[in-house]
Amino acid sequence: MSTRITLPMSTKAEWIKFRSLRSSVYSIITLLVLTIGLGSLITYARTKHFGHDGDNALGWDPVTVSLTGFFFAEFVVGVVGAMIITGEYATSSIRTSLAAFPRRVEFVLSKAIVLIGVVFVMSEAMAFISFFLGQSLIKSAEPVTGLSTTIGATGVLHAVIFAGLSIVLLALIGFGLGLLLKRTAAAITVFVSFLLVAPILVAFLPSNWGDPITKWLPGTLARGMMSINRDPETFTPNVCGLVLLVYAIVVIAAGTYLFSKRDA
Amino acid sequence: MIELRDLTKTYENVVAVDGLTVDIRPGVVTGFLGPNGSGKSTTMRMILGLDQPTKGSATINGMKYHDLKFPLREVGALIDAKALHPGRSARNHLLALAASNNIPTKRVDEVLDIVGLSKVAKKRAGNFSLGMGQRLGIAAALLGDPGVLLFDEPVNGLDPEGIRWVREFFRGLASEGRTVFVSSHLMSEMALTADDVIVIGRGKLIRQGKISDLTENALGTVLVRSPQVADLEAALRRAGYGVTTDNESTLTVSGATSEQVGEVAHASSVVLHELTPQRASLEDVFMELTADSVEYSGAQHQSGAEQ
Ligand SMILES: Nc1ncnc2c1ncn2[C@@H]1O[C@H](COP(=O)(O)OP(=O)(O)O)[C@@H](O)[C@H]1O
Ligand SMILES: [Mg+2]
């Protein structure tokens, strides 16, 4: 019997809060369905047109192709991460929550634990389903044989698992931005700026300037985590994962610092 | 027991709470009165550790809020009936709060029953009327069966029956020995609920004490009727009292007791037909006390101030 409020207590509370909101449950299910659906569609189309639009045996990565839906998931999961905290500011339920559980660092941790748990289960399911569905689609549609791969091939299992983990890390970055900025719109804007807008801007730079920047961008790192190609110019999947993890920790640490200082 | 010591909160350029030092004792309902924008909600948020005081401190049974072992078991608060996620059911809202303080599920159903929300416990709180929202907020405050309760404007949005219920309920909680601290911008509300009052204006303490003392110390006016109004008025003015003429036969005298008015009349041989002391209503006292400190006039709503 504990003599004071503890992390497991607020984690249980956060779990009840998460599962009792239809919006969060629906957004997770919608995300799962859309990611797998879009990924399958694109996988099928790209396989059918193999050899036409620049896809050729050299650049073809059957793992990445089957996980194309993850582009979509990367964006949505950042919003989910941000909203578990910005949603509380928007409804001012943050005051009710913090009056019940004033230990703010533990409060943040409990939210992160629930977010990691939920997103991990969802994103790994998404990764494995997308992968297996994708490979069977490639096999059924392939104009030339040998385009698909198997989970046992070198680096493939690692890539599929890391694909799921990249989504967890992006959700955490979204959460950290939510902690820092309080407002959903602000957090989403910053998240999208780094994930989607920055790569477009960098693409305008000459490549000897742009390339060193590109490889540090969160979108590149997330994709790098699920790649089986070994381009010596880019980071390995493990390094990509590590850098993205450092980003998540830095943003959440800064967010937690502000969160524990400011008025609720 | 809640102790505020030189409690002060400054936002950019507003002093919302200004050096409040008061004790709020157990066993009675303490009314926290002040016009809109006088700093009541800010004070409550500082007691709950939500806002950091600029200066001074607020403690509960000698402890800072942050150091309470199980906050909900020591302090229950309703600060804003809308401070919950509209998509969550009443029961789930309470279940989450209960879990955070290791309060058993059985207690959730108990408090829903106490406030009369059992039947709608599974409904989304966003569809609740303001009155039902207040009841849910009160249920949340009761979850941990705490000895200290804070309610910020709890009767807002309640129907007359709800107001009666809340009033009885607060008195019941106080009679069980709990500290009950209730804010309101309506004196008439407190007159029926509170034993003690703390009146603030512009964040500063204006008056503190038993509610009964508040009216006794305030001088009322005296209504006099006489066929010799002009003579009487002149005599009263010479004696230094304030006089207003109501019509050709009645005067209202301020700053004097009925005895003093009677003596003045006798000394100047004026016949009196009526001599009636008029007790100031609590509302009058309140208006008088806070007249200098009303921040806004007209139809100013406080919601805009709480962003
Ligand atoms: N978060 C805030 N930022 C800036 N000013 C605030 C904030 N909260 C309250 N105030 C100001 O502090 C004063 C007191 O507000 P409040 O405590 O809400 O009063 P009351 O509850 O008595 O109506 C008001 O002038 C209000 O505008
Ligand atoms: Mg208020």
How much is the ipTM here? 0.91
Q: Is the CB of A96 less than 8 angstroms away from the CB of B49?
A: no
For A3-30, what is the mean pLDDT? 92
Domain boundary among B200, B216, B232: B216
Tell me if chain A has a CB within 8 Å of the CB of B14.
no
Check whether B73 has a pLDDT greater than 90: yes
Q: What confidence category does residue B214 fall into, taking pLDDT thresholds of 50, 70 and 90?
A: confident
Residue B119, pLDDT above cutoff 90:
yes
**Domain identity same for B182 and B211:** yes
Does B10 sit in the ligand 1 pocket, CB within 6 Å? Answer: no
Q: Which CATH number do you get for residue B244? A: 3.30.70.100
Give the least confident one: A87-96, B101-110, B162-171, B210-219.
B210-219
Q: Which strands, in side-by-side order, build the sheet including B221-225? A: B242-247, B250-254, B221-225, B274-278
Give the pLDDT confidence of A25-67 residue by residue, as tens digits: 888 888 899 999 999 999 999 888 887 766 666 678 889 999 9
Q: What is the pLDDT of residue B297?
A: 46
- As for how many domains chain A has, the answer is 1
Q: Which residue in the set B52, B66, B80 is minimally distant from A263, CB to CB? A: B52
Question: Which pLDDT belongs to residue B294?
Answer: 63
Atom of ligand 1 nearest to the CA of B12: 4
Structure tokens, A161: 């698992």
A 10-29 residues with CB < 8 A to B = 10, 12-14, 16-17, 20-23
> Which-ligand-closest: CA of B33?
1
Does residue A179 fall inside a structural domain?
yes
pLDDT in tens, B162-191: 889 899 999 999 999 999 999 998 877 788
Size of chain A in residues: 264
pLDDT value at position B299? 39
Residue ranges with strand state E in chain B: 2-11, 14-24, 29-33, 55-60, 75-78, 148-152, 179-184, 196-201, 204-210, 221-225, 242-247, 250-254, 274-278
Q: Are residues B155 and B260 in the same domain?
A: no
Q: Is B106 left (phi over 0), alpha (psi -120 to 50) or beta?
A: alpha
- Smallest CA-to-CA distance from A13 within A111, A134, A81 is with A111
Residue of A nearest to B72 (CA): A100
Residues of B in contact with A87 (CB under 8 A): 85
Asked if residue A2 belongs to a domain, the reply is no
Domain membership of residue B71 as a residue range: 2-216
Where is average pLDDT lowest: A93-102, A120-129, A192-201?
A192-201
B50 CB within 8 Å of a chain A CB:
yes
Residue B41 lies in a domain: yes
- Which amino acid would we find at residue A108? V
| B85 to A91: CB separation less than 8 angstroms, yes or no | yes
Residue B115 within any structural domain of the chain: yes
Span from the CA of B123 to the centroid of ligand 2 (angstroms):
28
Query: Is residue B127 domain-resident?
Result: yes
Q: Do B80 and A95 touch (CB under 8 A)?
A: yes
Distances (CA, A) of A104 to A108, B63, B81: 6, 18, 22
- Average pLDDT on A163-169 reads 97
pLDDT at A68 over 50: yes
Q: Where are the beta strands (DSSP E) in B37-186?
A: 55-60, 75-78, 148-152, 179-184
CB-count burial class (<10 Å; 0-12, 13-18, 19+) for B304: exposed
- Do residue B118 and residue B261 come from a single domain? no
pLDDT of residue B216: 63
Is there a single domain that holds both residue B109 and residue B236?
A: no
Q: Is A9 on the interface with B (CB under 8 A)?
A: yes
Tell me, what CATH number does B67's domain have? 3.40.50.300
In a shared domain, residues B189 and B245: no
Q: Is B305's pLDDT higher than 60? A: no
Please indicate, yes or no, whether residues B198 and B156 belong to a single structural domain of this protein. yes
The answer to whether residue B304 scores a pLDDT higher than 50 is no
**Å from A21 to nearest chain B CA?**
6
What are the tens digits of pLDDT across the range A198-216?
A: 888 988 888 888 888 888 9
Indicate which of B66, B92, B102 best probes the interface with A, i.e. most A CBs within 10 Å of its own CB: B102
- Say whether A78 sits in a helix, a strand or coil: helix
Q: Provide the domain count of chain B.
A: 2
Share of chain A above pLDDT 70, in %: 97
The answer, for B70 touching chain A at a CB cutoff of 8 Å, is: yes
* pLDDT range class, residue B300, cuts 50, 70, 90: very low
**Tens-digit pLDDT profile for residues B227-282:** 999 999 999 999 888 888 888 889 988 888 888 899 999 999 999 999 988 776 66
Same-domain status, B208 and B226: no
My answer on whether B130 and B241 are in the same domain is no
Decide which of A113 and B287 is more confident: A113
Local confidence band at B306 (pLDDT 50, 70, 90 cut-offs): very low
Cβ distance of A98 and B49 shorter than 8 Å: yes
Phi and psi torsions of B76, nearest 5°? -115, 140
- Residue A191 maps to a domain: yes
For ligand 2, a single-atom ion, the residues with CB < 5 A are B 40-41
C-alpha span between B118 and B132 (Å, rounded): 11
Q: Give yes or no for B138 touching A (CB within 8 A).
A: no
* Mean per-residue pLDDT over chain B, rounded: 89
| pLDDT at residue B155, rounded to an integer | 86
Quick one: pLDDT at residue B118? 95
| Domain of A243, in residue numbers | 7-261
Contact B205, B236 (CB under 8 A): no
B295 domain residue, yes or no: no
Does residue B249 lie in a domain region? yes
Task: Judge whether B302 lies within some domain.
Answer: no
Overall residue count recorded for chain B in this entry = 307
Same domain, residue pair B198 and B226: no
Average pLDDT over residues A60-85: 92
Residues B41 and B138 in one domain: yes
Are residues B181 and B203 located together in one domain of the fold? Answer: yes
Could you tell me if residue A108 is inside a domain? yes
Same domain membership, residue B137 and residue B173: yes
The predicted model gives B214-229 an average pLDDT of: 79
